[in-house]
Amino acid sequence: MKTELVIDLEAEKQEILKRYRALLRASKSTLQKGDKKEIRKAFDMALESHKDMRRKSGEPYIYHPIAVAQIAAEEIGLGTTSIVCALLHDVVEDTDITLEDIEREFGKKTAKIIDGLTKISGVFDTNSSLQAENFRKMLLTLADDVRVILIKLADRLHNMRTMDFMPRHKQLKIASETIYLYAPLAHRLGLYAIKSELEDLSMKYLDPDTYKFIAKKLNEKKAERALFIKKFVEPIDEIVHEQGLVADVYGRPKSIHSIWNKMKKKNIPFEEVYDLFAIRIILDSAPENEKADCWKAYSIVTDLYRPNPDRLRDWVSSPKGNGYESLHTTVMGPRGQWVEVQIRTQRMNEIAEKGFAAHWKYKESSNDNGLDQWIQKVREMLSNPEANALDFLDDFKMNLFSDEIFIFTPKGALIQLPLGATALDFAFEIHTDVGATCIGAKVNHKLVPISYKLQNGDQVEIITSSKQTPKEDWLNVVVTAKAKSKIKSSLKEEKRKIAENGKEILERKLKSLKITYNTDNIQKLSYFFKLPSTQELFVNVALGKIELKDIREYLTSEKEVENRGPERPENLTVDMVKSKMKGSENDILLIGEDLQKIDYNLAACCNPIPGDDVFGFVTVSEGIKIHRTNCPNAAQLMSNYGYRIVKAKWNKQQELTFLTGLRIVGIDDVGLINNITRVISTDFKVNMRSITVDTNEGIFDGSIMIFVNDTEHLENLIKNLLKVRGVTGVTRFDA
């Protein structure tokens, strides 16, 4: 038995060396003199410090840092410093090695990056979320060195690729965080390949059924698609070369996640998604001919196939904020289906695939500084000391916009804003004071209100007034993080002044009632008026919402007020909620690690039914709420409040009914409603709560709310409804 283990260890040792050599090969292009030695030193340190550790799969832990370094080198194109940091990214957190040791061995820069990669330990404000704090810390380092984020993305990508051995609740939490934050971040840094893979992997865990369904469908038609692409590409290839362009033309499948998005957005089945792939034309052009060559290729494609005039996207003339340059057009293919064609040069392609890292490489020749501007924006957000980490996360999320519009100032300067930005966003983008005093704008010389949504290419002049100050409802008008945080801090300042005033008034009022002004009494008053904080109490007093008579009322009714402040959600532990809420014996949901029967409510946002993959969320006032794992709000809840998520599982004991909605579309036919209701009530004995039907020029569109037992019951019902003559589609919807 013993010898077997030795052989095993020997084999592992060989495997570690093999992986290390593969890493060196991947980093060959960026290696300079002495770099190999640095990488070896980092590898030895990582190997030594992780030697007794294993991953959940049983593999040696060192496989993980090597893989992260490999992704950083190969898929992002980073250099030696990053490879060293990737190899050492977990040692400070998981082993006895300190940042000082790292600095002594590898220098200040490496130590700083690793510090950014090391999660926060110790205690901090309980009102904020641990994940949010870690993310914020990571971004603080981004302002100094973007490599922190790039290595973090490589780390996340490897964790997502190897998550099969994790417990289910961990898989859900990590996948939610990934889809909520890391995938948009990869997109913002221009790492499209990594962004797509992160989205697909998140979907694999959050919505496994849909993921498998689309993957299976894609696989079935693979050969047919390859043939279509070959036929489509041949004539393009031929003419491109005839015209003296050097180009690589090929088809590339779309990601499962983007196909699913299209199905949801357009409410269509898989069969109706036409652009399952995109055709790419990658040109080998000299820098000075790039633009001309791209348009030449565009002209060749549109001579062969008729383009859709609304679907031309020109990011060659004005690149996206993350440096992305490309020409996109959609053309009608030979079989009467739309095909997306992307045209770009090799340089543009490298920037599209490797984003930021490739950007550095071409920095000298590129005058685009969209990413620098974006990092500047992140710096501004981080410099707001007040921000609660969760607010910060939501604001940051807004700044990960993928679609931009270009707006001109009256003097013709170009300003980039996210799609959906308003005149007020533009005002704050110019200067905080301009934003704070903005009363309206002139867009293309026409007067518009501050809430006016700007269009690409608008020229905007802001009108201000010294009497204007930021208002609460402005927060609903703006979409940029900068404007939001400036308005919030201005409102906070305003509120603070009002509260100061209210505090003095309250002191006088309490004095007249012979009540001592102390923290204890102020807390009791806040609790009596059901206010979340003492500041709110002072504000209400200042605004005259709480008067002397109200305080007298408090005195009479609350002779014996319990001495405690309002309960805060963050102080709620899962166990506290569980102990308060014992469920009845015949409950059909089991909750928590030990799967007990506990009272719960079903979330209205996604109406879960037995058989759905679900989780519990500990709320402040309504106990435990059950959500579907693919609920529209799930990603946000899990990534921001991971510590309030509990496991939940259906218990198959009894037949209860649950409300769910079905949308039925089809061709209006005599007796169609009759046939549909017959299937529902007679064949399936299902009760209907409501039915709304709309027929328009022969098309039938109905929504039916029904009570079903579980997902199996629902699926059988859907199958049978699809057999009804005239019905073309049946989908479940969240009420």
Measured CA distances, 45 to 60, 65, 92 (Å): 15, 11, 11
User: What is the spatial distance between Cα 465 and Cα 427, in angstroms, rounded to a whole number?
Assistant: 13
**Which among 8, 94, 284, 504 is annotated as catalytic?**
94
User: Is residue 94 among the annotated active site residues?
Assistant: yes
Give the separation between CA 635 and CA 3, rounded to whole angstroms. 48
- Cα→Cα distances 487→222, 453, 563, Å: 52, 18, 36
Kindly give the pairing relationship between strand 277-283 and strand 338-345. Answer: parallel
Cα→Cα distances 434→74, 105, 416, 431, 438, Å: 46, 50, 17, 5, 6
**Looking at the DSSP assignment, which residues form a beta bridge with residue 627?**
615
Residue 310 DSSP class: G
Angle in degrees, CA 30, 200, 196, rounded to 5: 40
Rounded CA gap, 17 and 291, in Å?
46
Q: Which residues pair with 415 in a beta bridge?
A: 407
The amino acid present at 179, given as its one-letter code, is I
Catalytically annotated residue among 10, 48, 93, 403: 93
Is residue 317 exposed (0-12), middle (13-18) or buried (19+ Cβ within 10 Å)?
Answer: exposed
Using DSSP's 3-state secondary structure scheme, residue 288 falls into helix
Q: Using CB atoms within 10 A of its CB, is residue 602 exposed (0-12), middle (13-18) or buried (19+)?
A: middle
Cβ neighbour number for residue 371 with a 10 Å cutoff: 19
Task: Mark whether 93 is an active-site residue.
Answer: yes
CB atoms within 10 A of CB 46: 25
Cβ atoms within 10 Å, residue 435: 27
Q: Which two tokens stand for residue 257?
A: 């996640």
| Contacts of 126 by beta carbon, 8 Å cutoff, 6+ apart | 570, 571
Contact (CB, 8 A) for 654 and 586? yes
Active-site residue numbers?
93-94
